[in-house]
């Protein structure tokens, strides 16, 4: 971005007119008959956690605060998968089952039946590069292979791209938001039947992203 644009953006932000473009790359894992169970580090446990366990397991915050994580679990439409090491949550991610809440792009998109959106992956810094993010995705592929799974990450998140590409996920599209204050325009790009489709809209629908 040029200096002029950066300065203009800064002034607009001060006026409450934040201006930016953000992009997510979407991945898709089609339903499959079966996937092998993950190998996890000795002494580590991988499982879904309940709302009342979060505090005892030292829920580390991050994408969602403790009250938000409790609220998400108690709402009953999302599950939190965690890797527990030494009695504490070392990594977690969410399986959103009714609505994909894509906070980064200010979006909530309903999910078709039989589809799941895996999101908010976080591995605590001291547990990174040990295969925990990969193990969580393998666990889900093993435990719910019948679901059509979606996930997304920013272009520059190399570990996540490596993880998806190396685990049989397929890139399924890109979604951009162009935001100027209260104005939001989305650009959806999908590859369907070998052809690229691009469209601008004020709010992407479920079928634009997931079908």
Ligand X SMILES: CC(C)(COP(=O)(O)OP(=O)(O)OC[C@H]1O[C@@H](n2cnc3c(N)ncnc32)[C@H](O)[C@@H]1OP(=O)(O)O)[C@@H](O)C(=O)NCCC(=O)NCCS
Candidate list 145, 159, 176, 180; residue touching ligand X; CB under 6 A: 159
Residue 133 engages ligand X in binding (rule: CB under 6 A): yes
Residue 158 engages ligand X in binding (rule: CB under 6 A): yes
> Tokens standing for 185?
């325009």
Q: Contact letters (x/-) for ligand X, 104-123, by CB under 6 A? A: -----------------xxx
Q: Which is nearer to ligand X, 131 or 145 (CB)?
A: 131
Whole-angstrom distance, CA of residue 94 vs CA of residue 105: 17
Q: How many other CB atoms are found less than 10 A from the CB of residue 120?
A: 19
C-alpha torsion sign, points 60, 61, 66, 71: negative
Q: Which is nearer to ligand X, 145 or 159 (CB)?
A: 159
Candidate list 9, 12, 130, 185; residue touching ligand X; CB under 6 A: 130
Q: How many other CB atoms are found less than 10 A from the CB of residue 33?
A: 6
Burial 94-105 (b: 16+ CB within 10 A, else e): bbbbebbbbebb
Q: How many other CB atoms are found less than 10 A from the CB of residue 18?
A: 13
Q: Which is nearer to ligand X, 162 or 192 (CB)?
A: 162
- Beta-ladder partners of 199: 188
Q: Contact letters (x/-) for ligand X, 160-199, by CB under 6 A? A: x-xx--x---------------------------------
Task: List contacts with ligand X (CB under 6 A).
Answer: 121-123, 128-134, 153, 157-160, 162-163, 166
């Amino acid at each position: 971005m040029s200096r002029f644009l950066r300065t203009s953006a800064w002034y607009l932000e001060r006026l409450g007119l934040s201006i930016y473009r953000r992009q997510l790359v979407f991945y898709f894992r089609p339903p499959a008959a079966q996937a092998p169970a993950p190998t996890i580090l000795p002494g580590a446990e991988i499982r879904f956690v309940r709302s009342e366990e979060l505090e005892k397991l030292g829920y580390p915050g991050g994408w969602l605060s403790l009250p938000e994580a409790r609220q998400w679990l108690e709402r009953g439409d999302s599950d939190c998968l965690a890797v527990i090491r030494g009695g504490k949550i070392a990594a977690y991610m969410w399986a959103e089952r009714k609505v994909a809440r894509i906070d980064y792009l200010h979006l909530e998109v309903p999910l078709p039946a039989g589809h799941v959106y895996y999101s908010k992956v976080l591995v605590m810094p001291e547990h990174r590069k040990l295969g925990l993010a990969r193990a969580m995705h393998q666990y889900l592929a093993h435990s719910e292979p019948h679901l059509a799974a979606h996930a997304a990450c920013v272009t520059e998140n190399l570990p996540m791209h490596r993880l998806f590409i190396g685990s049989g996920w397929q890139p399924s599209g890109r979604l951009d938001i162009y935001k100027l204050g209260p104005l939001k325009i989305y650009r959806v790009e999908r590859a369907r039947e070998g052809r690229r489709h691009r469209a601008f809209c004020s709010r992407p629908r479920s079928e634009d992203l997931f079908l």
